[in-house]
Structure 1
């Protein structure tokens, strides 16, 4: 890739980006190292601008969805015909039932961007002759992320979206018509007539009786819909749906997954003309059309499910900490500007029986992609440019990149695992939806334990803690009580004896002031100085987090058992 980037034909994209940089290229040195640095700056600039444009659109945690179940198929008007039977009995089949709409929570999704704002169920097939009933519409399964809260909107909330159910849409279409035209349109939407027999059917007493029963059933459905509106739908999809099949399940299902939670039921299929056969009416020439499926407007709100949530100001080092704890498997963005993380990122931490976590590479290993890339390319420059550069299929070797255990061995040694979430930076007045505001705080509501991350290299990390605590409490009363630890990140100077003694002493006094502030205002929280960039003191952090998660899970289990009793 590096060799390809230096080809002459690939200089034009870099030239366009270099024109916007505050560097005079014409007067810059023409050495190979400087040329690479300019191109690397241009590449990072383009990547940053693209991420700022696209990052906010790829993650979606709140969505209004209009769901309409499938419409039932129409009944059929037909008569049986075969050799020597020119006037057979009525043989129209019933229409198929409309497809239901289900929501299935799944671990594989982390955003609502895959859910369309308008969901329409599959329609049932129409009935056919020789008593052939229509096929039922296949159920529509909409996959949503685990942790989605589904809430049905009230009629007043739906009104501002100008979306109407089947009866409201029908009334709007009939507005301004005369009573005769109104009745004609109502009948055309509910009945199917044999060709050239519509006028004859409307005069028959049997049709009028069937029409009276039809109006009565429709009135019952409207009353049922009003009763349902009194108890709006509310689902908290915080657990995955069980996919195992029971022993007495029908044959042919195979490994078919469970459909999930029913959101809207499909409409019933229409009745074929044999359903209107009676002793007085031996040749019914009418059938009913299928009913519309249920319509419902929902508000989907995603609240990230993670055992531990990192809470910190922008550029406090949360993304670097997550990369260090997960061995780089959690692809959180790392850069030097504020609000680098625009979307929550969830990583999994696996802990072995000896306390070592997967991805641990020893003390002092650098978790800074920018620095690693620069050192690697400068090393290649000294060795003769890119003659020995790695291809895309080669892997870098060395002690700094070997994990404590291989993946296969760790599967046998794993004793405990938990998830940790890196969230966008929190700023003052975030509870008023300033900055990323509610998008950040919403993703923190489900965390079993919260961990503050502050920048120890800053002038006053205790002021950051005060802002974080106040914003959590303002957004949701009691939310700050779930905080269990304070990570003083960027504590690089505390472990360096060869640095300026005055700087080291200032860092230690700052840490002592932070500990005193936590004891006075935040209560019994653990304060752990770390350097996520150099992997210092991370084993202690993982051990403490494991204890928090175990306690929280046990308490949650006891509360659920008490509710069931």
Structure 2
């Protein structure tokens, strides 16, 4: 089996560095034979940090880093000198990642910007040196604090692809063929189910230097939200798409398949249906005279476009409709931000 080229999930055991111990030391100089305590504090342990990197688009590297430990802090030194802090350990991740505590399922944060950082395991505090413990009744304290243990936990990192439009459909609906036809992406294409085993991204270029990003999500099957098939592994990618392009083959029961896809998204996360939707009826080149029978026509309150990726039938029209929907979403976001 070939090496996996994409990963959207990783589980990593992380541990912050141990804090350095405080020092027990007394001032000793030639003419000060009975100097007081001057043991310095221990250095703090390093943190384990998840950092956004816009150049990455997969969690593949983190899949192979099962255990990650930050460096320990150094012991305190004489003359009240603090020990050196332990070095942080940086885990670089693509934008669109959400990180959880694997045991409690607490959401620790989300990476949305380049170089954004989330501390997933804090280093322990350094111990206090013995000079902190001097008092009128104890001028020569002979003890100092140990450093604290660093935080340790298992974390789960999920990548949700960021794209302007996501393709939603059952296997063999023509999603990969469309992505290949209108972008530079080269997904694997064949005539059997589950050809697409991982999401594919493509940049679609239009006249006047307009571009948008399209994501081909692996085919969903009925009851995918319950764990059947491959679709459940990738439903989360739909969450980050501004527009959903539903694709149903002209050779199938169009209304039934469209409603079945809506049911799967509704069962997974009902708010996904609040996103703008477009329905593309694919493989029209297999229809006589490129027309659907009257009984196959749909009366929906969303744009419906009959297309053929093989012949470019209505492809330009589809791209313009997608562009209009994307712009409407962007304007809505701008209006919300300005009013807030």
Partner of 2:201: 346
Measure the CA separation in 2 of the matches of 1:428 and 1:301.
23
- 1:76-475 alignment to 2 at 5 Å? 76-81=23-28, 88-115=35-62, 116-152=65-101, 233-237=107-111, 239-241=112-114, 258=115, 260-326=117-183, 328=184, 330-353=185-208, 414=209, 416-456=210-250, 458-475=251-268
Higher helix share: 1
Residue aligned with 1:288, SS: coil
Higher strand share: 2
Residue aligned with 2:206, SS: strand
Partner of 1:476: 269
Deviations 1:230-283 (A, max 9, x none): xx554243x215xxxxxxxxxxxxxxxx56133333211112222223343333
Structure 1, 275-284 or 68-77: larger mean CA deviation: 275-284
TM-superposed deviation, 1:63: 4.2
Partner of 1:537: 314
Residue aligned with 2:83, SS: coil
TM-superposed deviation, 1:82: 5.2
Residue aligned with 2:234, SS: helix
Shift of the 148–561 alpha-carbon distance from structure 1 to 2, 3 Å rule, reads farther
Given the alignment, which residue of 491, 508, 517 partners 2:291? 508
Deviations 1:504-527 (A, max 9, x none): 24x5234x544x2x31xxx22222
8 Å Cα contact 2:43-2:82 kept in structure 1 = yes
The structure number with the bigger radius of gyration is 1
TM-superposed deviation, 1:555: 1.7
Partner of 2:280: 487
Paired positions, count:
338
Q: Which runs of 5+ in 2 are unaligned?
A: none
Measure the CA separation in 2 of the matches of 1:264 and 1:475.
31
TM-score normalised by L of structure 2: 0.86
Shift of the 341–138 alpha-carbon distance from structure 1 to 2, 3 Å rule, reads same
Partner of 2:324: 547
Deviations 1:154-213 (A, max 9, x none): 65x7xxxxxxxxxxxxxxxxxxxxxxxxxxxxxxxxxxxxxxxxxxxxxxxxxxxxxxxx
TM-superposed deviation, 1:534: 3.9
Measure the CA separation in 2 of the matches of 1:558 and 1:102.
34
8 Å Cα contact 2:52-2:92 kept in structure 1 = yes
Shift of the 279–289 alpha-carbon distance from structure 1 to 2, 3 Å rule, reads same
Shift of the 433–91 alpha-carbon distance from structure 1 to 2, 3 Å rule, reads same
8 Å Cα contact 1:451-1:486 kept in structure 2 = yes
8 Å Cα contact 1:102-1:259 kept in structure 2 = no
Measure the CA separation in 1 of the matches of 2:338 and 2:53.
24
Is the aligned partner of 1:525 residue 2:309? Answer: no
Residue aligned with 2:240, SS: coil
TM-superposed deviation, 1:437: 3.1
Shift of the 335–293 alpha-carbon distance from structure 1 to 2, 3 Å rule, reads same
Shift of the 233–314 alpha-carbon distance from structure 1 to 2, 3 Å rule, reads closer
8 Å Cα contact 1:72-1:268 kept in structure 2 = yes
TM-superposed deviation, 1:339: 0.8
Q: CA RMSD in A?
A: 2.8
Measure the CA separation in 1 of the matches of 2:22 and 2:276.
62
Measure the CA separation in 2 of the matches of 1:346 and 1:529.
23
Measure the CA separation in 2 of the matches of 1:233 and 1:472.
22
TM-superposed deviation, 1:149: 2.4
TM-superposed deviation, 1:140: 2.7
Measure the CA separation in 1 of the matches of 2:207 and 2:75.
60
TM-score normalised by L of structure 1: 0.54
